[in-house]
Amino acid sequence: MQKIIVGIKRVVDYNVRVRVKPDGSGVALDGVKMSVNPFDEIALEEALRIKERGEATEIIAVSIGPDDAQQQLRTALAMGADRAILVKTDQAIEPLTAAHALLAIIKTEQPDLVIVGKQAIDDDAAQTGPMLAALWGRPQATFCSKLTINGTVATIVREVDAGLETIEVDLPAVISADLRLNEPRYVKLPDIMKAKKKQLDVTDLATLGVSIDDGLKTVHTEAPKARAKGILVKDVAELVDALKKKGLVS
């Protein structure tokens, strides 16, 4: 196997408390810490481990987003990716547009494997990977918790509602990484310095021949309602009595 492409998305850091804009037009991003989507970090870590086993020669990190997304791509390069590509756009895009953009990169790079996070923590759509596989006409394996490569065949253990499912797919293929696939490595300062010298190419959707034709429009964004304050009870009897008063038990 030669190349692996890994999708990297810029999202609000998972430690940050998300706030909605006063006018309800979206999430407030000014001055907010942004990071690599956690599931994409797991996808990249798996690609790095594949390369370290001698089963791949090059890892390419790809992100679609504003110019500031270069910061997340530099993080990917510091983790160990060989080079990066930014598809620059200042517009919010849907999974289908992202899949078309990734497909355009695939047609140029001809990878043997594409790994993405199973979902992004900002929209939780979990759609880009499956859409990309459908557009590419290649097999897919979602919610991967274990991955083994044997020549041109990948064996994947998937986390499903009923437990674990083991499948085999022919490469090239699209795989989406689940939480328990691995634990991403820490980025060290020397690697951060080296990443500044690694290749990072910038293109745009127009150059790739991809148009933004989103079928969804965000009408309004609002924060979830505040939870009711909890109460302390002395014993089970008092707990049952409190539940009865709220009409939760009879």
Would the pLDDT of 250 be above 80? no
Place of tokens 């390369």: 51
Q: Given pLDDT bands bounded at 50, 70 and 90, which one contains residue 198?
A: very high
For the chain, report the end-to-end CA distance as a whole number of angstroms.
63
Beta bridge partners of 116: 176
Would the pLDDT of 176 be above 70? yes
Per residue in 119-149, pLDDT (tens digit) is 999 888 899 999 999 999 999 999 999 999 9
pLDDT of residue 249: 82
pLDDT of residue 27: 82
> What are the phi and psi torsion angles at 63 (to 5°)?
-130, 150
> 27-31, 104-108, 231-235: which range is least confident on average?
27-31
Each domain of the chain, given as residue ranges in start order, spans 3-245
CA atoms within a 13 Å half-sphere pointing along the CA-CB vector of 17: 2
Place of tokens 């599931």: 39
What's the CA gap between 205 and 103, in Å, rounded?
12
Our CA angle for 99, 101, 106, nearest 5°, is 90
CATH of 3-245, one of 3.40.50.620, 3.40.50.720, 1.25.40.10, 3.40.50.1950: 3.40.50.620
Place of tokens 């992100």: 63
pLDDT of residue 1: 67
User: Which among 71, 81, 163, 91 is positioned nearest to 115, based on CA atoms?
Assistant: 81
What's the predicted TM-score (pTM) here? 0.85
Per residue in 61-71, pLDDT (tens digit) is 999 999 999 99
What's the CA gap between 97 and 178, in Å, rounded?
23
Q: Is 207 helix (H, G, I), strand (E, B) or coil?
A: helix
What's the CA gap between 46 and 188, in Å, rounded?
18
Share of the chain above pLDDT 70, in %: 99
Would the pLDDT of 214 be above 80? no
What's the CA gap between 230 and 226, in Å, rounded?
12
